[in-house]
Amino acid sequence: MSLAQVEATTEAAKVGEEGGSLRRDAWRRLRRDPVALVGFGIIALFVLVAIFAPWIAPYDPADRPGAGIVTPTNIPGPSAEFWFGLDELGRDEFSRVVFGARTSLLVGVVALLLGMAGGLLLGILAGAFGGKVDTVIMRVVDVMLSIPGLLMAIAIAALLGRSLLSVMIAIAVINIPIFARLLRGQMLAQRGSDYVLAATSLGVRRRSIVLGHVLPNSMSPVIVQATLTLATAIIEAAGLSFLGLGSPDPRVPEWGLMLANTQRYLASAPHLAFFPGVAIVIAALGFTLLGERLREALDPKYRR
Amino acid sequence: MSATEGTAAERHGVPEPGEPQRHRRAVSAEDTLLTVRGLKVYFPIKSGVFVDRVVGWVKAVDGVDLDVPRGSTVGLVGESGCGKTTLGRSILRLVEPTEGTVTFDGIDVSSLAGEDLRRIRRRMQMIFQDPMASLDPRQSVESVLTEPRRAHGIERGEATTVAQLLDLVGLPASAASRYPHEFSGGQRQRIGIARAIALEPEMIIADEPVSALDVSIQAQVVNLLEELQDRLGLTYLVIAHDLAVVRHIADVVAVMYLGGIVEQAASDVLYSAPYHPYTKALMSAVPIPDPVIEDTRERILLSGDLPSPANPPPGCRFHTRCPYRQPTRCDDERPALRAMAPGHTVACHWAEQIHSGEITPRPSAVVGAVIDAAPPTTVPIAGDPTITTLGPPPGI
Amino acid sequence: MSVTEAAADHLLDVRGLSVAFTRKGRRDVRAVDGVSFTVDAGQTMGLVGESGSGKSVTSLAVMGLLPKRGVRVGGEVHFDGDDLLTLPPERMRDIRGRDIAMVFQDPMSSLNPVVPIGIQVTEVLHRHQDLRGDAARTAATESLARVGIPDPTRRLKEYPHQLSGGMRQRALIAMALACRPRLLIADEPTTALDVTIQAQILELLKELVRDSGAALVMITHDLGVIAGLCDTVHVMYGGRVVESAGRRELFAEPHHPYTGGLLASVPRLDAPRGAPLHPIPGSPTDLLPWSEGCAFAPRCPNRVEPCTENPPALESAGGRELRCYNPLVAAEEVPA
C-alpha cells in the first residue's frame, strides 16, 4: 500500500468492524469524541436556556427592578441579587441575557432554514439538470456572492423596515448562494460516479437516481455547513442588530443590540458588554465545535 | 419492448441453487446477439470564456465493427486510451455514440429513446471495474439487489430473490443486511455481479471485472463468471487489459488500438499466431510466471508513447510506433480489417508479408535471446539500411 | 563470526524486522512480523505478496519512511555496517537518495504536480552532491537521457502532467538513480502502467541495474515480473516471509502451499484455453491472529493441526527457506 494508506491506518480508529450503515458509523465516532461532546453540550445548554427562559430568568427582561438604584454614573455589576448586574435602565442583565438566547436561537434557526431552503432548491435544480439550467443558476449565484452581505442587509432593512424579520431575511439571503454552490458541486461530483452509471445501466429512472442516490450522498457536507452556518448566523444577527438594522425596540433582549447600547458605558460598566459578548462567543463556539467534528466523522476519507 | 421471454421460457425460471447439471447453449455463428457497425464516439473538446466553443474532438472510438454470437464470450483487449471502455459503455448507451449502429437481438438500440431504452436495459447489463465505486455506499446489499426489480416494476414473486442471487454468486444470506464497506474487494465484485444478473439479462458487458482485485481472488471471480455463463446462458463481452485473463475466458478476442480494432480472431489462434504488429508486441510484453520462458523469449518493444486520441496519426494509427513500418502506405492509408483466415481479421497493409517473415522488425525494437542463428530469410527492404535477420518471426 | 562481520558481508541485511501499528484502545495491527532477508551488490531480489502481505510496509521501514506516531518498529536493518533503524534522522536523510533510493507505484502522486521535472531532479543532485546551476542541469539532462526520455533538455522545463505515465515513471527512476545509489527499492513500479510500457520500464531497470552494479529490490504481486527479473525471491503472506528461494527453484518447485496456490491461480498467457484456474479460497484479509498460528491456515488446503496452534518457524535447507508444517511435496502437485 502507499504511504498515504499506511498513514490512514495509523490515524483513524476504524469503526467499521461492528457493521451498520455509514450514518451509524459516524454517530459512533462522534459519541466518543470529547470535542464533539463539548460542542454538543454547549448547544444543548443554549437550547435549554432558550426554551426555559421564563423559568430560568428571575425577572421579565422589560422589568426594571433596579430603577431606583441605577444612575448614569453608577451601574452596578454582578452581585448576589443580580448575577450579571444591572443595565443602564435598571433591568436585570442576567434575565436579559437569558431571554436573549431565545431571540438569537430564533433568528439563527429561521435564517438558516430560509437560507437552506432557497440554497438547496437552487442547488438541486442546478445539480440535477446540469447544462444550461446549471449555467444560469450558477451565474445568479455568482452575482449574489459578489454583493457584500452588509450592503444586502442594509438594502433589505431599507425595503422592509428595521426588524428582526429583516435580519433573518438578510442572513438567509447571504447564505443561499453558499448552500446552492455546495450542494450543486457535490451533486455534480456524485453524478460522475460509477454507481450512478450502474443505476442507469440497470434502467433506474433518472428521477430515482437523483433523489435516491445522488442527493443522499451529497448531503454530508450540507449538514456540516448547516451547523457552521448556525454559528455564523448568530454572530451575523448580533452584528446586524448592533448596527441598528434589527428591531429598533430597545426592550427586545437581543445580544447584539445589548452590545450596541452599552458603548457609552464600556469604561464604567464593562459587565454590560462582557456578558452578552461572551454569550455570543460561547453559543457560536458550540455549533462550530460540533460542526467541525461532524465534518471529520462524515468524511469519506476514513471510510473503507 | 417486453421482458426476456425467450430466455426465461427456455430456462423454466432461475435454476435452483446447487443444481448439478450445466447446460451450455449452442454457440452458432449465425445467431448473433449483438452487432455493432461503424460505431464512432467522439468527445468534443470545448474552450471559451462565456460560451464554450468546440475546438476539436477526442476520437475515443473511431469506426468499430463487432459481432457477438449468442452464448459466447468475446474479449476486447487493449491498453489505456484504446477506447475499449468507451466502446462498452456506448453499446449500452451510457455514453452516446456519435455515429454508427448497435443492434441487439434485432433491435436497433442506438435509435431507442426514453422508456423503450430503459426497458431494453433489462436485457443488457454491465459489471464495473471498481467494486467500491460502483456501489452506492449508503445502500444495503438487499437494496442494491432489489433496486433493479423495483425500477422495472416487477413483482417480488416474479423475480429472483435476494437469497437466490447471493447464493448464485457465493455469498452468505447474511450479507443482505450489510453495507458495501463491510466487504472485501472480491466480495463487492460479487455483489456487483449479483446485481447484474438480478434481471436475468441475456448479455453482460464486463468492464475490467477483475483488474481491481488481488491476484488470488481474480481466479475466483473468473471462475464465477464462467459458471454463471453456463448456468444462466449468458453472453459476455469482456473488456480487459489483462491478456492472460481474456485468453482464458474468451472464445473470440478483438484487439483495440487508439479507437479501432486492429485484429480479431479466436482466442487460441490470436495468442499462438498473431498477425498484427501491435498484437505481437502486446503478447510479447506480457510477463509469464516461468523463468525458463522469460529468459529465452524475445520481446518486441514499442517506441515512443501513445498518440493523443484528439490527434491520431494519419494513415494507420499505429504506424508511428510500429517496428515493422514500411515506407509506403503505412503513413497515408488507413488499413481496413481484412480476413487472413476464416474468423481471423487484421487491419494491416503488410500482414501477409510480416507473417511469412518477408518483413522483419527493426532490430532496435527487439530484445531478448535469439532463438537460433537461422540463415537470413528477409528480403532487404529498400530504405532501411540496418535490416539484419533475426530468425523466425517473433511470437510466443 | 561476529555480528559486525556478518553484517558487512551483505549490502543490506534485514533481521527480524517487525512493524506494528498501534491504535488507541485497540489491539495492535502487526503488518510485518519477523522478516529477514539479505541483498548483495549487483543482485536483484524480489518480494512477492498481495495486499496485506506487508511487503510495502517492509520497504518503507527499511527506508525509514514510516510515520513516527502510532508505529512501532523492531529488529535490525543493516546497511553498509550501520543499523538504519537506530540512525539519527539527519544521517538517515543523507543515506536516502544517495545510497538507497526508492521508486514508487504511482508516478503521478509521487511527483510534485506544480514543480517542473527538471527542478525535481536537480533537487536530488543538490541535496546529495551539492551541484548547482549549470552543473546540476547538465547532470539532470544526462540522467533523463539515461532513462530513455527523448529530448531531455526540453523536458526539464515540463510539468508532470505533460508527460505520459511511462515517461513519468522514467523520470522517477532518473531521480532515484541520479546519485547512483547502491540499492534501489522499487515498490510496484509498473503496476499502474500499460503492459507494453511495463515491458519498456522493466527492460530499462534491468539495464540500469546491470550497468551500475546496484542492487535492486523489486516489490510486486506479479509473478511474471519476478520470473523475468529477479535472482532470489521471497514470498510474503500476512506479514511474514513464508518462502524464499532462487528464482528457478521457486517456480519449478514451490514448497509453500501459498506459493503453489498463487502459481495455480494465475492465468497464464501460454496456457491452453481450457486450462482451469484453481483459485485460493477466501481472501488475503482472512488472517489468523498472529499468536495463533500460520496466517495462511484459514485458506490452506494442506492445513494440519499444528498450523492453528503456533506459527511455523523458519527452516533453511538447500539454499531455500520455508515456514510451513506441511509443505507441498512434488513439483507437479498443485492443490486442487
Enter the ipTM: 0.83
Provide the pairing of β-strand C44-48 with C215-220.
parallel
- On the question of pLDDT at A123 being above 80, the answer is yes
**Cβ within 8 Å of residue A146, ≥6 positions away:** none
Q: Which of C12, C10, C51 is nearest to C35 (CA)?
A: C12
- The pLDDT of C219-240, averaged and rounded, is 92
Predicted local distance difference test score (pLDDT) of residue B33:
92
| DSSP H or E segment with residue C14 | strand C12-21
Residue A33 banded pLDDT, cuts 50, 70, 90: confident
Q: At C287, is the secondary structure helix, strand, or coil? A: coil
Distance from CA of B43 to the nearest CA of A (A): 16
The CA distance from A85 to A91, in Å, is 9
- The b/e string for A254-286 (b: 16+ C-beta within 10 A; e otherwise) is bbbbbbbbbeebeeebebbbbbbbebbeebbeb
Which chain A residues contact residue C22 at CB under 8 A? 10
Q: Quick check: A10 and C60 CB within 8 A? A: no
Query: Other CB atoms closer than 10 Å to residue A118's CB: what's the count?
Result: 18
Whether chain B has a CB inside 8 Å of the CB on A203: the answer is: yes
The CA distance from C209 to C190, in Å, is 16
Predicted local distance difference test score (pLDDT) of residue A255:
86
Q: Measured between alpha carbons, how far is residue A302 from residues A5, A12, A26, A299, B373 in Å?
A: 10, 7, 10, 6, 60
Task: Quote the pTM value.
Answer: 0.81
The CA distance from B39 to C46, in Å, is 45
**Closest partner residue to B137 among A20, A22, A203, by Cβ?**
A22
Q: Measured between alpha carbons, how far is residue B306 from residues A9, B198, C5, C165, C197 in Å?
A: 37, 39, 51, 10, 10
The CA distance from A192 to A214, in Å, is 10
Residue C21 banded pLDDT, cuts 50, 70, 90: confident
**Using one digit for the tens of pLDDT, what is the confidence trace for C126-138?**
888 888 888 888 8
Q: A2 to chain C: nearest residue by CA? A: C56
The CA distance from C189 to B156, in Å, is 49
| DSSP H or E segment with residue C98 | helix C89-98
> What is the residue-wise DSSP string for A31-52?
HT-HHHHHHHHHHHHHHHHHHT
The CA distance from B288 to B221, in Å, is 21
- Please classify residue B286 by burial: count the beta carbons closer than 10 Å to its beta carbon, then call 0-12 exposed, 13-18 middle and 19+ buried: buried
- The pLDDT of A274-282, averaged and rounded, is 89
Residue A20 banded pLDDT, cuts 50, 70, 90: low
Distance from CA of B328 to the nearest CA of C (A): 26
8 Å CB contact between B24 and B30? no
- The pLDDT of B296-314, averaged and rounded, is 85
Predicted local distance difference test score (pLDDT) of residue C167:
87
- On the question of pLDDT at B15 being above 80, the answer is no
Long-range contacts of B84-88 (CB under 8 A, 24+ apart): B84/B239, B84/B256, B85/B207, B85/B208, B85/B239, B86/B41, B86/B60, B86/B61, B87/B36, B87/B39, B87/B41, B87/B61, B87/B239, B87/B256, B88/B126, B88/B205, B88/B207, B88/B237, B88/B239
For testing contact with chain C, the best of B22, B216, B246, B297 (most C CBs within 10 A): B216
Whether chain C has a CB inside 8 Å of the CB on A1: the answer is: yes
- The pLDDT of C243-267, averaged and rounded, is 92
Which chain C residues contact residue A16 at CB under 8 A? none
**Using one digit for the tens of pLDDT, what is the confidence trace for A198-223?**
999 998 988 899 888 998 888 888 98
Q: Quick check: C195 and B305 CB within 8 A? A: no
- On the question of pLDDT at B394 being above 60, the answer is no
**Cβ within 8 Å of residue C271, ≥6 positions away:** B244, B247, B248
Provide the pairing of β-strand B124-127 with B203-207.
parallel
Whether chain C has a CB inside 8 Å of the CB on A3: the answer is: yes
> What is the residue-wise DSSP string for B65-121?
EEEEETT-EEEEE--TTSSHHHHHHHHTTSS--SEEEEEETTEEGGG--HHHHHHHG
The CA distance from B259 to B84, in Å, is 8
Q: Quick check: B181 and A217 CB within 8 A? A: no
8 Å CB contact between C50 and C222? no
Residue recorded with cell 527538471: C118
Residue B138 banded pLDDT, cuts 50, 70, 90: confident
| DSSP H or E segment with residue C118 | helix C117-129
Which of the other chains make 3 or more beta carbon contacts under 8 angstroms with chain C? A, B
The CA distance from C266 to C259, in Å, is 11
- On the question of pLDDT at B126 being above 60, the answer is yes
The CA distance from B63 to B37, in Å, is 8
- The b/e string for B323-339 (b: 16+ C-beta within 10 A; e otherwise) is bbbbeebbeeebbebee
Q: Which of C45, C173, C47, C182 is nearest to C110 (CA)?
A: C173
8 Å CB contact between A81 and A94? no
Predicted local distance difference test score (pLDDT) of residue C2:
42
Q: Which strands sit side by side in the sheet containing B53-69, from one edge to the other?
A: B53-69, B32-47, B99-104, B107-108
Residue A165 banded pLDDT, cuts 50, 70, 90: confident
Size of interface A-C (CB pairs under 8 A): 33
Distance from CA of C62 to the nearest CA of A (A): 13
Q: Measured between alpha carbons, how far is residue B71 from residues B105, B222, B252, C14 in Å?
A: 12, 17, 12, 54
What cell does C44 get?
536483484
**Which CATH number applies to A3-302?**
1.10.3720.10
**Cβ within 8 Å of residue C259, ≥6 positions away:** C235, C242, C243, C250
Q: Quick check: C262 and B215 CB within 8 A? A: yes
Distance from CA of A10 to the nearest CA of B (A): 19
Whether chain C has a CB inside 8 Å of the CB on B215: the answer is: yes
Residue A15 banded pLDDT, cuts 50, 70, 90: very low
- On the question of pLDDT at B66 being above 60, the answer is yes
Distance from CA of A194 to the nearest CA of B (A): 4
Which chain B residues contact residue C150 at CB under 8 A? 304
For testing contact with chain A, the best of C22, C28, C71, C96 (most A CBs within 10 A): C71
Whether chain A has a CB inside 8 Å of the CB on C103: the answer is: no
Predicted local distance difference test score (pLDDT) of residue C287:
64
Residue A9 banded pLDDT, cuts 50, 70, 90: very low
**Cβ within 8 Å of residue C111, ≥6 positions away:** C117, C120, C160, C168, C171, C172
What cell does A238 get?
448580533
**Cβ within 8 Å of residue B38, ≥6 positions away:** B63, B64, B65, B99, B100, B101
Predicted local distance difference test score (pLDDT) of residue B254:
96
**Using one digit for the tens of pLDDT, what is the confidence trace for C27-60?**
778 889 889 999 998 899 999 998 888 898 999 9
Q: Measured between alpha carbons, how far is residue B254 from residues B210, B278, B296, B344, C133 in Å?
A: 18, 12, 27, 10, 52
Q: Quick check: A22 and B134 CB within 8 A? A: no
Q: Quick check: A217 and B148 CB within 8 A? A: no
